[in-house]
Amino acid sequence: MRLAHFRFELINVFQLAARRNNVEILKRIWVWAEEKQFNPNELKNELLLYTDSYGYTAWHRAAAEGSLEALELLWSLAKEAKLNTDEFLLAQTKKGYTAFLLAARNNNVEILKRMMVCAEEKQLNPNELKNKLLLTKDSDGYTAWHHATYEGSLEALELLRSWAKEAEIIIITLNTDDTSFLL
């Protein structure tokens, strides 16, 4: 029996613990999975990148709810499981939401900061990293910038703007056909 199959309200218990920022439960579930001798692929598919009916992972749930400690633990578990961290950072829900976009939408500034640190750990070109996070679009063509604006997440907008300026990328899209200008 797989841990991911214990369901509550369409999400698995690992996602629920991430959403509620319950680090101790996340750790315990991880230990149980290790005791069951899950291989890295099973850890990835059954826990870290397991998606619910909306395509959300535990990473998405933690970012959306502002569960910083859970997000940090999930990142370290992903590295422990030797997960491709690009796959983790840029995972998209069925509507194309990344965890970064969800954090921006919900004004979870500390989550955004931590996710940028996670991205920088990958030691890619800083502009490439920021482009991947800042300019990834959902299925409607909207970026983190759009979602933060729509939800009135001013602090998140300021943070996004500062990163965009550092990366010298165009940050304001007037419409979804990529007509943009830099502020």
**% of the chain surpassing 70 pLDDT:** 81
pTM of the model: 0.84
Q: Which two tokens stand for residue 181?
A: 């200008």
> What is the residue extent of each domain of the chain?
3-181
Q: Which two tokens stand for residue 141?
A: 């063509």
**Burial code of 150-165, b = ≥16 C-beta within 10 A, e = fewer?**
eeebeebbebbbebbe
Residue with tokens 């979804």: 176
Mind listing the pLDDT tens digit for each residue in 34-44?
Answer: 999 999 889 99
Give the torsion sign (CA, 159, 74, 64, 41): positive
Nearest to 60 by CA among 92, 95, 24: 92
pLDDT at 183 over 50: no
CA gap 84, 171 in Å, rounded = 27
Which residues, listed in sequence order, are joined to residue 181 by a DSSP beta bridge?
172
> What is the mean pLDDT of the segment spanning 153-167?
86
Mean pLDDT of the chain: 85
Higher pLDDT, 170 or 87: 87
Residues whose CB is less than 8 angstroms from the CB of residue 106 and which lie 6 or more positions away in sequence, other chains included = 64, 65, 66, 151, 153
**% of the chain surpassing 90 pLDDT:** 56
Q: Which fold has domain 3-181?
A: 1.25.40
Q: Which two tokens stand for residue 125?
A: 């070109």
CA gap 12, 167 in Å, rounded = 37
- Inter-axis angle of helices 109-121 and 68-80, to 10 degrees? 20
